[in-house]
Structures are given as structure tokens and as C-alpha cells.
Amino acid sequence: MTPPLSSTDFFSAKLRFETDPADLAADRAGGASPLVLDVRSTEAWRQGHIPGALHIPGAELTARADELGTDRDRAVVVYCWGPGCNGSTRAALSLATLGFTAVRELIGGFEYWAREGFLVESHAGRHRQSPDPLTAPAQT
């Protein structure tokens, strides 16, 4: 029988496999270079995405995994629309199944990246919206 998972084990694992928009932005600003992977549809990608992200729709991920390179230990952060979308969870599982060892899911997805006021890229160029005071501290 498997011993029950402790709270410490659960939350440690959760932090190992997830990141949030503020932590991803801080990692990128600090020189860390995780591969950021957008698994939404092409229409969603065109509407806006995280600058520098690679776009591979979730349904195409297994067939196009070679586009992520050969380093299966490279940090990969996967995102979809937001908390109501499990596309990033499915993509992270697919990548783990393919042997990627450092996959994390961006909690809040693109929605919270944009709502927290981080830079967004679209067909219209780069922009950022004012942070939503329900998701990020107000700028003073």
C-alpha cells in the first residue's frame, strides 16, 4: 500500500510543476531562458501571446515535438488560455510522456499574464494593459 501523500510533499510537487506569470516574468528578466510554449489555437495566438513564445497547437504537439529541440532536460513552460482551460495540462503531460523532464504549467495561463500587465504580442504589435487590481498590485 502506498503511504498517503503529505501536505509538504503535495505542495512541493505542485511548485515544482507549476509557475505563475510573475515568477515567469522574473525568471526571464533574470536571464533564465525557459522555452515558453503556447498550445492554443492559431486564432488565439494571433489575438495575443507571450513575446518569444513558441506556438504549437495542442493537437499538433506530439507530431511537432522535434521543434522544441533535442534537449529533453531544458525548462519548458506551457500555457493555454487561463484557469478554465486544461490544454496546458494536457500538453505538459504529453511532453512528460515524450521524455521532457523539466516541464511546468503556467497557472493562470495567457489570461493572467495579460491581466497582470505583462507585455503581450499580437498581429498589431506589442502592448501591455494596465494591471487588473484583482490580480496584481496597482502601480503607483
Gap between the Cα atoms of 23 and 67, Å rounded: 25
Q: Is 111 helix (H, G, I), strand (E, B) or coil?
A: helix
80 is catalytic: yes
Extended strands (E) in the chain: 18-19, 35-38, 54-55, 76-79, 103-106, 120-122, 125-127
Given the residues 80, 91, 95, 114, select the one marked as catalytic: 80
Rounded distance between C-alpha atoms, residue 95 and residue 76, angstroms: 9
Cα–Cα distance for residue pair 22/124, rounded to 1 Å? 24
- Give catalytic residues, as residue numbers: 80
